[in-house]
Structure 1
Amino acid sequence: MTHSTTASPRRAPGILLVVLMAAMAAGPVFNYGVGALSATIVASYGITEGQYGFIITAVFVMAGLAAPLLGVLADRMDTRVQLVLIFGGTVAAFLLSAAWQSYTALVVAALIAGLAQSFSNPVTNRIVAQSVPLAQRSAWMGWKQSGVQVGLLVAGLTFPVVGAASGWRGAAVFGAALCVPALLVGWLVITRLRRRAQARDATTPPRTAPSGVTGGVRPEAAGASAGKGAAASPAEKTRLPAAVWLFTITSFLNAVGTQGVNVYASLFAVHAMGYTITVAGLLLGVMGVIGIVSRIGWGRVTGRLGRPAPLIQVMSLGGIAGLMLLVLAETTQQHWLMWLGVAFHAALPLAANVVINSGIVAVVPRERIGVASGLVATGMYLGFALGPVVVGQLVDLTGAFTAGWSGVAAAYVLCFGAAVVLGQVQASGRRGT
């Protein structure tokens, strides 16, 4: 399905892409900052690995519960207000956790960060649909979604350094400071684009239909459309395609695996492989770099192929392979296996979100993108919430990471199956048109 882009400029400005990437990065910087300093937080707060996992779970439970409502609001609320909620909410979460040094305060801060993150996908998808020409969208979706990995890169490289000097409190203040200029730039860019669009609309004369064409549609097409419109009920017009629900399921299952690894990779490097906190932070940085490249690359592949289901299947298999390598790394203490496993994780399943969001933008009418994106985001955030719990509780029970990695590998197996069904549904839809 294609949607009108008459309101979009011929090419969207690059500064808008920077804003989109920053909006995607801002919320996850909190989770990744906590992840980069996971060993420090576990030691200084006197908590177990499982209790640490509940901090990240709090982020995504809140995001998952809020995403459906906020997805609807994304279609109605001023874009600039939503950017304020994303960046401002992340600032509030960081400052709260810095001001009150307790486990309870850290969990409350995580809830605030989760609420802020829940706006990210709906509002950025809406901006892409409304302001980015169709020819640019696939590449932009890849770049936009790579903003999450930019957050991972920044957190992995900077938070361990700042935390080594001033602990979590100093790192939290640093994280808050990162969001303020991003908010100001985002507000100015969206305001400028809105004024340009208003000026363009005011100076563009209304299009007149050529002879023999009614409303820009040929008479026979107009008649066919009218027939369809008469036959379609209001429920059919507002019903989301079946693919949206399957995208939601794949998003949930993929998220269980990816966030289970994201949250515990640093702690795994320190506790299971004997690395220092700084090197463990570098591991997150490597994940971020590979994740940025992979999301951009997979975004382009998605645009050319136009079939997300096979790509999700490949990414699920890559996630299983990466987790097998991490299990072997712990068993044999071969460090290169850990780095290779993380590379598989970052290059394949960590990029699935760009494929899923590109699929949503392609199959859903523009006026319903906020709702559909909110639904898919709910699946993703609930998966993000479950993954750390699965890994953390299994590590607490067994004293090793092997069971945790095996548990989230099962989610990738189910994700592969859901992607197979998605491919069959979309193939039958193409045959029926």
Structure 2
Amino acid sequence: MSQATPAPQPEVPKAGAALLTVLLIAMGVGPLLNYGLSATSDLLIQELGVSAGQFGLLVTVLFVSAAVSSMVIGRLADVLSIRSQLVFNYGGTVLALLVSALGPQYWTLIVACVLVGPAQVIANPTTNRVIYSAVPAVKRSGWIGVKQSGVQASQLVAGLLFPAAALWAGWSGAALAAAAGVLVLLWWSLRHIPPEDPTDWSAVRNVLADRFRRRRPGSAASLPVQVWLFAAVAFFSGMGTQATNVYLPLFAVRDHGYSLLIGGLAAGLSGVVGVASRIYWGRALGAGRRPGTLLLLISSGALLGMACMATSSLWDLPALFWAGVVLHGLTVLGTNVVVNAGTMQAVDATRIGAASGTTTMGMYAGFAVGPVGMGAIVELTGGFVLGWVLVGVAYAVLLGLAVAMVRTTSRG
């Protein structure tokens, strides 16, 4: 069987602020579409004439597309050049935004969501590979925290800009403006990546060929058990994260009577807090805190946040709604930092892409389940309370996984 030869790792003269900014942008570009859809959910539901459940299906399709492509994308990230991966990431996002701007119609949004899934997936393996090869081990956790905060920076930008742009120029105008912005970011990013050899396309062909053959040594089947445990953590945290991210603006509008702009602001606030929390969790890992211990704190705080959400709806307490928004950003939005740092410690350089693809698959599978489940509950019950309770159940499972991780680490 042919063996895929990993591409030479980039030789970085200095891992500085420009490179870190590229990684942060790369993480934030892909989610622009789903955060934009979420931030304008009330407007789009009315314009498209669909139900909340049908709207949730859009994001589910996106994350199913991402989960299905995660394993092969992760393997490709081990052999594609960083330049090629950035073009794939940014270019796929631009294409999806342009397709979504055709109308908008429900079917064009479905197609856009299918297209952007693989573009989102490649960001994690790409940025992890750069950090592994460019950054000293003692600084990697801090870098992971900063680059993962790019996702929440994207949430902030989308929450603030998409509602305003959509009210002024419609969804199509907002999507076209976002696509133009992504192209500018691609141009800037390509000017600030480290020098490297071009992609070895024979290695790429080998990876694609091996995808349809029996598993070879070094594939996901032979990854350490820690990687699969982190994939489970990513799944359950992902369920709750996206159920909340997608429906938070709609919850603000329908249950608390806020305007579309304030609903977007709530999502943006969660993103701002999420940026800070991801940096904090990354620094805590860099200071020697164990992943299991941090996951205990994260899952406990996330449970409290869901209690605030449910209670705010039951007794119409806006203060608890905002407390839930902040706790969401402080806790579960930081899970990905712990997962990525732990995964990076569990494998060697030749399997960073495959391991990252595995945990990313778990995350996007959770992302796919959360929104469609929340949408179905909203349709059946006419409210959000039961949905927040079930998100809390997912976080309780996450707490159990954290306890198991702590005990396993202690025995080791």
Same fold (TM over 0.5): yes
Output one character per residue of 1:125-158: Cα deviation in whole Å (capped at 9) or x when no partner.
Answer: 0111011122321111110000000100100111
- Deviations along 1:232-282, one digit per CA (max 9) or x if unpaired, are xx6799832111110000010000011110000000000111000011111
1:167-207 superposed Cα distances (whole Å, 9 cap, x missing partner):
111111111112111111222222x5338xxxxxxxxxxxx
Q: Which residue is 1:175 aligned to?
A: 178
TM-aligned CA deviation for residue 7 of structure 1 = 7.6
Question: For 1:182 and 1:171, how far apart are their aligned partners in 2?
Answer: 17
Q: How does 1:340-351 map to 2 (within 5 A)?
A: 340-351=323-334
Once residues 378 and 186 of structure 2 are traced to their aligned partners in structure 1, the CA distance between those partners, rounded to angstroms, is 38
Residue 249 of structure 2: aligned partner: 266
Asked if the contact 1:247/1:422 (under 8 Å) is kept, the reply is no
Query: Partners of 1:8 and 1:353 in 2: how far apart?
Result: 26
Counterpart-to-counterpart distance in 2, 1:366 and 1:397:
48
Could you tell me which residue of structure 2 aligns to residue 338 of structure 1?
A: 321
Matched, 1:370 2:353: yes
Listed as ranges, the gaps of 5+ residues in structure 2 are 1-8, 198-216
* 2:243/2:371 contact within 8 Å kept: yes
Q: Which structure would you say has the larger Rg?
A: 1
2:312 is aligned to 329
Instruction: Determine if contact 2:45/2:52 at 8 Å carries over to the other structure.
Output: yes
Corresponding residue number in structure 2 for 1:117: 120
Deviations 1:108-138 (A, max 9, x none): 1011111210101111101110111223211
- 1 CA distance for matches of 2:45 and 2:390? 22
Q: CA deviation at 1:159?
A: 0.8
Matches of 1:9 and 1:78, distance apart in 2: 14
- What per-residue deviation string (whole Å, max 9, x for no partner) do you get for residues 318-365 of structure 1? 111111101111111111110001101100111111111011111211
Q: Residue by residue, what CA displacement relative to the aligned partner does 1:202-243 show, whole Å, maximum 9, x if unpaired?
A: xxxxxxxxxxxxxxxxxxxxxxxxxxxxxxxx6799832111
Q: What does residue range 290-329 of structure 1 map to in structure 2 within 5 Å?
A: 290-329=273-312
**1:75 equivalent in alignment to 2:78:** yes
Amino acid in structure 2 at the alignment position of 1:330 = S
Helix, strand or coil at the partner of 2:15: coil
Segments of 4+ moved more than 6 angstroms: 234-238
Output the CA distance in 2 between the equivalents of 1:390 and 1:304: 38
Equivalent in the alignment of 1:208:
none
Alpha-carbon distance in 2 for matches of 1:110, 1:356 = 25
User: CA–CA distance in 2 between the matches of 1:356 and 1:237?
Assistant: 16
Change (3 A) 1:106 1:236: closer
Partner AA of 1:22 in structure 2: I
Distance, in Å, in 2 between the alignment partners of 1:236 and 1:29 is: 31
> 2:43 maps to which residue?
40
Q: 2:363 aligns with which of 353, 375, 380?
A: 380
Separation of aligned partners in 2, 1:187 and 1:236: 30
Q: CA RMSD in A?
A: 1.9
1:209 maps to none
Deviation at 1:425, TM superposition (A): 2.6
1:427, distance to aligned residue in structure 2 (A) = 2.9
Which of 251, 262, 266 is equivalent to 1:283? 266
Q: 1:118 & 1:383 partners in 2: Cα distance?
A: 14
2:20 aligns to what?
17
Q: Please, which runs of 5 or more residues in structure 1 have no aligned partner? A: 1-5, 196-233
Cα shift at 1:286: 0.6
- The aligned counterpart of 1:193 is 195
Does structure 2 retain, via aligned residues, the 8 Å contact 1:146–1:295?
yes
Closer/same/farther in 2, CA of residues 242 and 87 from structure 1, 3 Å limit: same
Change (3 A) 1:78 1:143: same
Q: Which residue of 2 aligns with 1:211?
A: none
TM-score by length of 1: 0.86
1:107 aligns with 2:90: no
Aligned residues: 386
Match of 2:34 in 1: 31
User: 3-state SS of the aligned residue for 1:260?
Assistant: helix
Aligned match of 1:210: none
CA distance in 2, matches of 1:279, 1:37: 11
* Equivalent position of 1:411 in the other structure: 394
Residue 10 of structure 1 deviates from its aligned partner by: 7.5
